[in-house]
Structure 1
Amino acid sequence: MSIAKRLASQTAIYGVSSIVGRVLNTLLVPVYTARFAAAEYGIVTGLYAYVAFLNVVFTYGMETTYFRFANRPDTDRRELYSRVMTLLLLSSALLTTVLALLARPLMSLLSLPPGHERYALWIALILGLDAVAAIPFARLRLENKARKFAAIRLANILLNVGLNLFFIVFCPDVLAGKYLAGLRPLVEGLYDPTIGVGYVFISNLAASAFTLLLLGRELLDFRPQLTLAPLRPLLQYAYPIMLMGLAGMVNETLDRILLPRWLPEGFYPGKSNLAAVGIYGACYKISILMSLVIQAFKYAAEPFFFGQSNDKNSPRTFALVLKWFTLCCAMLFVGVSVNVELVARVFLQRPEYLEGLAVVPVLLLANLFLGVYWNLSVWFKLTDKTYYGTYIGFAGAVLTVALNFLLIPLLGYMGSALATLACYFLMAALCWWLGERHFPVPYPVARLLAWLALAVGVVALSWWLPVAEGWPRYGLQALLTLGFVGLVGVVEGRRLRTI
């Protein structure tokens, strides 16, 4: 099987768990926006923004480190696995305990009243369980056990979705007498209405615990090792990746933390700042459709890139991969942005959430550049110069903070969206510029920028079409989408068939 076919095959299998599974998870957004007011959903959005930061701390770059050291010819993979697992088990137990003890201060950061500390405890447990599962999942990827990886990931997501539907839809409806009144005594024993949005975290916690059970064979297949000397090179490689990850989380989630603090009171008439976070968070979920594709690709491409590191033709391969990745993401960007009104009918069930719809194309384009950056970052991972990733990430983080500070008071959550776009574009540009000097790859930069400029033009045209609402507008939007996809197919089709 050729390199391109092998990568595409692995991406497709990982996509079962990443795209299909996370789409199911994303489809919970209509449930949340129907059952929770924007201010309530703002709690979920805000807390999961902190989870994104803490998840980086809990794993501190050990996944990528494990891949890098496992692909060295003199490495005993079994011993490496045992060493990394021991390290993560101990650190996860310590960090979970510390986070649980800091429950009250964490809740005060979101200005939540006393009594919500249990949310922080549940989040601490989720983070600890997910960190312990990270290396067994990485081992499955390294050993090309994509089907098992996908099956376990999908089981996690299906359980999470099922429990969300049970606690947020089924139980309240039964108590309200909408159906199955005979089950009311049973539901009353299982369901506490005062927990409310807390059931989002309970469902996640149960799914994380179930995942560890499914990974039991991998979890038990290690021998505890705490020799300090062999750990030093692992940590030296990992800590820049952790710092890079933290900087990345600043760029990805800090807007939802800063928004309620820097948004002037009354900026959106009749809405609290927490409600604005909820609206922005719900619209952000639509843009995550781009992130789903990136995540599925990343699961397959990370071990693939390391595996190709010794191939003399690897630069050409990397250039080819980036080109088609960018073209596919550009088509997704056009498809969702042009037809965002139809997409919003599915995701945003209350009219108050539709007010933030204009941020979706901006965030989709931002996530596209994040995917481009992730592809370009292969050079500093393969050359063991991961500190460059830290520099790039921190440059993006500084820009994110500065632009949020300047734009939130002026533009509200649109300012946050524009800051995210500027940050990811800067990171991709810096990574390409530095990579040209340290690990030259023949990327077709001009051609890809031309396609992206055309995609932005098509989206802008669709938003300013002088056509009334309704099916005529929807039809014209569909034609624009098909026209762009068709043009890509005609112009680049011959190269695609060659691959």
Structure 2
Amino acid sequence: MSLYTKLFKQTLVYGLAAVFPKIIGFIMVRYYINWMPENAYGSYSLIFSWLMFLNVVLSFGMETAFFRFYNKYEDKKQVISNALYIILGICLVFCIPAFVFIKPISNYFITDPVVTAFIIAILVLDALAVVPFALLRAKQKSGVYTGIKITNVLLYSGFTIVFLYVLPQFFPKSRLFIQNFEVGYAYLANLIASLVCLLLVAKTYRYLRVAFNWHLAKEMLIYAYPVMIGGLAFAINESFDKIILDWMLPKDVGIIEVARYAAIYKLGLFMVLFRMAYTLGIEPFFFNYAKNEDAPIKYATVTKYFVLFGSLVMLVIVVCADILKIIMIPKQAYWSAMEIVPYIILANLMLGIYTNLSVWYKIQDKTKVGMYISILGAIGTFAFNFLLIPHFGILGCAMATLLVYAFMMYTSYLLGQKNYPIPYDKKAISLYLGSSTLLSFVYFYQFRENYIIGFIFVVILVAIIGWNERPLLKQLLSLKKG
């Protein structure tokens, strides 16, 4: 099996683990919107943004550190054991103050302390599953990994339907049904799914029988903490726009705008799916292939084809956005946020490119570079949002996201070429990304919902790609004839 074939198959399987939950989550958005008042959906989205941030703290960059030391260190069991001990310690340190200050936290989120307890438990359960899932990926058990992830999302969506639809519709007088508890029910469903998910991978904790190695732990923590800091900065880039939007607008208005922004943001799902599936498959490949002499050439090739397919995905999503909104976001009140779509999709494509470009500092153990880039991005997130939201509202959030990811992408490229030169096909990458961006923005803001023009634009992009990739197409055709 060739390297690229193996990589493609791995990405396909991991992609299912990423795609299926996101598709189910995307479908559920329609029902969240129908079953929750706007302010409840806004609160749910706001809490979810904080969850992303806190998830990074509790995982402490241990997934990336685990991959690095699992491939580098001879005693695999020792690496697994240390990673588990570290996560357990972090969860313990987190839980004590979280439960002590549960009432002030609940007041901030304007929610019941019971809901806050659900959220704390979800954070801990998800953190405890980080190392077991990383071990499955390291052992290339993609089928098991995918099966558990799918089980998780089926449980989550199933219990959500029971709590938000079945109970109020068919058992409104039941003791299990609580009025105006939609946010609590949503996170209770999440809690049940996370608990089952952890139980399914709990056998990994048998490695705790291996004694803790302080020297190795120190190495892992030194490697991991810049990843964690970078992850925090990334979480700010990814989710703090909603939090800042809520901060900058009057409370009643802000929570509604957060709801609309979060709902329309979901239309970028397919670009997110493409990026996530790729990342899950490519990260182990980056580490495993790093010792090969031709690694830079392979990295360059993989990056070019990521941009090629990502550019096509972007244009197709933009052309179909107004069809998707009717299917997935039935309440027209949310459609006022549609103007963000091209910015969000392009931003997620640039984030995927940044993932490719970040390979140089990960394989050279220079994770502090990623931390510094992400910190600068986080500073940009605050600066651009505070600057743009007063003038452009929710569109300012989307503009800020795009500017930050473009900065991170270009900075990583410049630094990488100085420290670990990779022969990227800059001409092809610029052609595909530039053409797709131009066609997407022209279509959305000049010819929106004119699907004939949209189809022509997609054909034009395919023709540009086909013409530029003539040598590869000829090679594939000759192999087919042979």
Instruction: Give the TM-score normalised by the residue count of structure 1.
Output: 0.91
**Residue in structure 2 matching 1:141, options 134, 137, 140:** 137
**Residue in structure 2 matching 1:488, options 454, 465, 468:** 465
Take 1:295 and 1:498, find their aligned partners in 2: how far apart are those partners? 30
Pairwise mapping of residues 31-70 of structure 1 onto structure 2 (< 5 A)? Answer: 31-70=31-70
CA distance 1:497–1:154, change in 2 (3 Å): farther
Look up the match of 2:7. Answer: 7
Deviation (angstroms), 1:230:
2.3
CA distance 1:228–1:171, change in 2 (3 Å): same
Whether the 8 Å CA contact 2:342–2:441 is kept in 1: the answer is: no
Look up the match of 1:245. Answer: 231
Is the deviation greater in 74-83 or in 136-145?
74-83
Look up the match of 1:256. Answer: 242
Look up the match of 1:77. Answer: 76
Look up the match of 1:421. Answer: 402
Deviation (angstroms), 1:158:
0.9
CA distance 1:358–1:231, change in 2 (3 Å): same
Look up the match of 1:209. Answer: 195
State the secondary structure of the residue aligned to 1:197. Answer: helix
Take 2:141 and 2:425, find their aligned partners in 1: how far apart are those partners? 33
- CA RMSD in angstroms, aligned pairs only: 1.9
Letter in 1 for 2:295: S
Give CA-to-partner distance per residue, 1:367-421, whole Å, 9 cap, x none: 1111111111010011111111111111111111111111111111111110000
The alignment status of 1:101 with 2:112, answered yes or no, reads no
Pairwise mapping of residues 166-315 of structure 1 onto structure 2 (< 5 A)? Answer: 166-175=162-171, 188-223=174-209, 225-263=211-249, 265=250, 272-315=253-296
Take 1:52 and 1:482, find their aligned partners in 2: how far apart are those partners? 38
Whether the 8 Å CA contact 2:78–2:210 is kept in 1: the answer is: no
Take 2:57 and 2:240, find their aligned partners in 1: how far apart are those partners? 15
State the secondary structure of the residue aligned to 2:129. Answer: helix
Give CA-to-partner distance per residue, 1:193-237, whole Å, 9 cap, x none: 332221111111100000012113223344253342321111110
Deviation (angstroms), 1:483:
4.0
Whether the 8 Å CA contact 1:338–1:463 is kept in 2: the answer is: yes
Whether the 8 Å CA contact 2:78–2:213 is kept in 1: the answer is: no
Look up the match of 1:181. Answer: none
Take 1:380 and 1:109, find their aligned partners in 2: how far apart are those partners? 38
Deviation (angstroms), 1:448:
1.2
Deviation (angstroms), 1:189:
3.9
Letter in 1 for 2:183: V
Look up the match of 2:480. Answer: none
Whether the 8 Å CA contact 1:39–1:276 is kept in 2: the answer is: no
Letter in 2 for 1:19: V
Take 2:315 and 2:98, find their aligned partners in 1: how far apart are those partners? 41
Letter in 2 for 1:234: M
Give CA-to-partner distance per residue, 1:322-347, whole Å, 9 cap, x none: 11111111111111112210011122
**Paired residues, number:** 476
State the secondary structure of the residue aligned to 1:440. Answer: coil
Look up the match of 2:158. Answer: 162
Is the deviation greater in 214-223 or in 33-42?
214-223
Q: Sequence identity, in percent?
A: 31
Take 2:35 and 2:467, find their aligned partners in 1: how far apart are those partners? 45
Letter in 2 for 1:345: I
**Residue in structure 1 matching 2:377, options 389, 396, 400:** 396
Whether the 8 Å CA contact 1:68–1:306 is kept in 2: the answer is: yes
Whether the 8 Å CA contact 1:339–1:478 is kept in 2: the answer is: no
Whether the 8 Å CA contact 1:240–1:387 is kept in 2: the answer is: yes
Deviation (angstroms), 1:149:
0.5
State the secondary structure of the residue aligned to 2:365. Answer: coil
Take 1:464 and 1:355, find their aligned partners in 2: how far apart are those partners? 14
**Residue in structure 2 matching 1:457, options 438, 447, 455:** 438
Whether the 8 Å CA contact 2:29–2:329 is kept in 1: the answer is: yes
Give CA-to-partner distance per residue, 1:162-194, whole Å, 9 cap, x none: 111121122222247xxxxxxxx7xx2433233
State the secondary structure of the residue aligned to 2:290. Answer: coil
Whether the 8 Å CA contact 1:38–1:353 is kept in 2: the answer is: no
Take 2:64 and 2:473, find their aligned partners in 1: how far apart are those partners? 30
Deviation (angstroms), 1:496:
6.1
Look up the match of 2:146. Answer: 150
Deviation (angstroms), 1:498:
4.9
Take 1:45 and 1:224, find their aligned partners in 2: how far apart are those partners? 41
CA distance 1:287–1:497, change in 2 (3 Å): farther
Take 1:131 and 1:407, find their aligned partners in 2: how far apart are those partners? 35
Whether the 8 Å CA contact 1:96–1:127 is kept in 2: the answer is: no
Look up the match of 2:120. Answer: 124
Take 2:176 and 2:391, find their aligned partners in 1: how far apart are those partners? 46
Deviation (angstroms), 1:249:
0.9
Pairwise mapping of residues 342-353 of structure 1 onto structure 2 (< 5 A)? Answer: 342-353=323-334
State the secondary structure of the residue aligned to 1:297. Answer: helix
State the secondary structure of the residue aligned to 1:419. Answer: helix
Whether the 8 Å CA contact 2:22–2:269 is kept in 1: the answer is: no
Whether the 8 Å CA contact 1:65–1:237 is kept in 2: the answer is: yes
CA distance 1:168–1:481, change in 2 (3 Å): farther
Take 2:225 and 2:474, find their aligned partners in 1: how far apart are those partners? 42
Pairwise mapping of residues 462-481 of structure 1 onto structure 2 (< 5 A)? Answer: 462-465=443-446, 473-481=450-458
CA distance 1:202–1:439, change in 2 (3 Å): same
Deviation (angstroms), 1:126:
0.6
Give CA-to-partner distance per residue, 1:224-270, whole Å, 9 cap, x none: 5334232111111011101110111111111111101113x49xxxx
Look up the match of 1:321. Answer: 302
Look up the match of 1:384. Answer: 365
Instruction: Give the TM-score normalised by the residue count of structure 2.
Output: 0.94
Take 2:139 and 2:193, find their aligned partners in 1: how far apart are those partners? 24
Take 2:420 and 2:204, find their aligned partners in 1: how far apart are those partners? 36
Deviation (angstroms), 1:123:
1.0
State the secondary structure of the residue aligned to 1:107. Answer: helix
Take 1:103 and 1:477, find their aligned partners in 2: how far apart are those partners? 51
CA distance 1:71–1:345, change in 2 (3 Å): same
